[in-house]
């Protein structure tokens, strides 16, 4: 799919990896709808990038909110043919800790936003993609989901996060198979350590320690590099049903 012919919904697009993708796609000529809960950051980014960007305050776990956001996107840009899911949260909590067992509501919250929110946005966006006229390859749309290397190498305290990201990896092939009939592709990106607000607050010493764990190059990834891969997935028609690690070959101990 050509980026200049792309209308993309990007969840979590107000910050970090999602914002890097918004910038990359707009620079390539795409139209973008940011779905995020952070209205202040989302509206500021939309104002900075101009008329190619629409901000919608959307909770990805809500059917109603996602539907309203998709309606507004189609009303402004005429169609939706890409959906990049970056909205997500992390928590640090062990299965059993000094305070007792992992609170169930916290586990459910992480699954709800990271996994169910991704699935919810994806399924409703695909419904819109089905209305598109297919290109000469029969393609009507593309989905990019965001997992994490924690899907494979989860650390202590990451049980809920790793479970949510492992499930995103697990969804990738069956969704590709489900949507082949409609001409919609899907790939998942599993990022390693990226310089987003999460890490910016940790201080240079911690960033240096984390950077030393990366095989090569010895630094954190950037949101622009995440955006590059998301763009490549959108543009590269033969990529489908796969999870791609984007991690400088880091394998967390």
Ligand X SMILES: NC(=O)c1ccc[n+]([C@@H]2O[C@H](COP(=O)([O-])OP(=O)(O)OC[C@H]3O[C@@H](n4cnc5c(N)ncnc54)[C@H](O)[C@@H]3O)[C@@H](O)[C@H]2O)c1
Q: How far is the CB of 235 from ligand X (least distance, A)?
A: 21
Tokens of 132: 């598109």
CA-based nearest residue to 125, from 232, 247, 7, 252: 7
Catalytic residues: 161
Under the criterion CB under 6 A, does residue 21 sit at the interface with ligand X? no
Q: How far is the CB of 191 from ligand X (least distance, A)?
A: 4
**Under rule CB under 6 A, which residues in 64-83 are in contact with ligand X?**
none
Query: Could you count the other beta carbons within 10 Å of the beta carbon of residue 5?
Result: 13
Instruction: Pick between residue 7 and residue 10 the one whose CB is nearest to ligand X.
Output: 10
Report the C-alpha gap between 106 and 220 in whole angstroms: 28
From 8, 10, 60, 125, residue interacting with ligand X (rule: CB under 6 A): 60
H-assigned helices in the chain: 16-27, 39-49, 63-77, 104-110, 117-129, 159-179, 197-200, 204-212, 223-235
The answer to whether the beta carbons of residues 38 and 144 sit under 8 Å apart is no
The answer for residues whose C-beta is within 8 angstroms of residue 28's C-beta and 6 or more apart is: 3, 4, 6, 231
The answer for residues whose C-beta is within 8 angstroms of residue 130's C-beta and 6 or more apart is: 140, 182, 184
**Under rule CB under 6 A, which residues in 91-150 are in contact with ligand X?**
113, 117, 146, 148
Report the C-alpha gap between 23 and 41 in whole angstroms: 14
Instruction: Pick between residue 113 and residue 233 the one whose CB is nearest to ligand X.
Output: 113
From 32, 87, 171, 175, residue interacting with ligand X (rule: CB under 6 A): 87
Instruction: Pick between residue 33 and residue 87 the one whose CB is nearest to ligand X.
Output: 87
Give the residue nearest to ligand X (CB).
16
**Under rule CB under 6 A, which residues in 144-203 are in contact with ligand X?**
146, 148, 191, 193-194, 196-198
Using CB under 6 A, list all residues that contact ligand X.
Answer: 11-12, 14-18, 35-38, 58-61, 86-90, 113, 117, 146, 148, 191, 193-194, 196-198
């Amino acid at each position: 799919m050509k980026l200049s012919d792309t209308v993309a919904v990007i969840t979590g697009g107000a910050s970090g990896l999602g914002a890097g993708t918004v910038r990359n796609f707009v620079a390539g000529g795409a139209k973008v709808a940011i779905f995020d809960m952070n209205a202040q950051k989302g509206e500021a980014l939309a104002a900075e990038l101009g008329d190619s960007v629409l901000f919608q305050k959307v909770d990805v776990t809500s059917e109603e909110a996602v539907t309203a956001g998709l309606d507004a996107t189609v009303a402004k840009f005429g169609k939706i043919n890409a959906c990049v899911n970056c909205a997500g949260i992390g928590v640090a909590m062990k299965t059993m800790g000094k305070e007792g067992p992992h609170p169930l509501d916290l586990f459910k919250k992480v699954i709800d936003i990271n996994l169910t929110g991704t699935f919810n946005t994806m399924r409703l966006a695909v419904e819109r993609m089905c209305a598109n006229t297919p290109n000469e390859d029969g393609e009507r749309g593309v989905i990019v989901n965001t997992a994490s290397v924690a899907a494979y190498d989860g650390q202590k305290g990451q049980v809920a996060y790793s479970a949510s990201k492992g499930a995103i990896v697990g969804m990738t092939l069956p969704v590709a198979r489900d949507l082949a009939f409609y001409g919609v592709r899907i790939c998942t990106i599993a990022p390693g350590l990226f310089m987003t607000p999460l890490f910016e607050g940790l201080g240079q010493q911690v960033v240096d320690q984390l950077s030393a764990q990366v095989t090569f190059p010895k630094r954190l990834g950037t949101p622009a590099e995440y955006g590059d891969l998301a763009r490549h997935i959108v543009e590269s028609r033969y990529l489908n049903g796969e999870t791609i690690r984007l991690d400088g070959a880091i394998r967390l101990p």
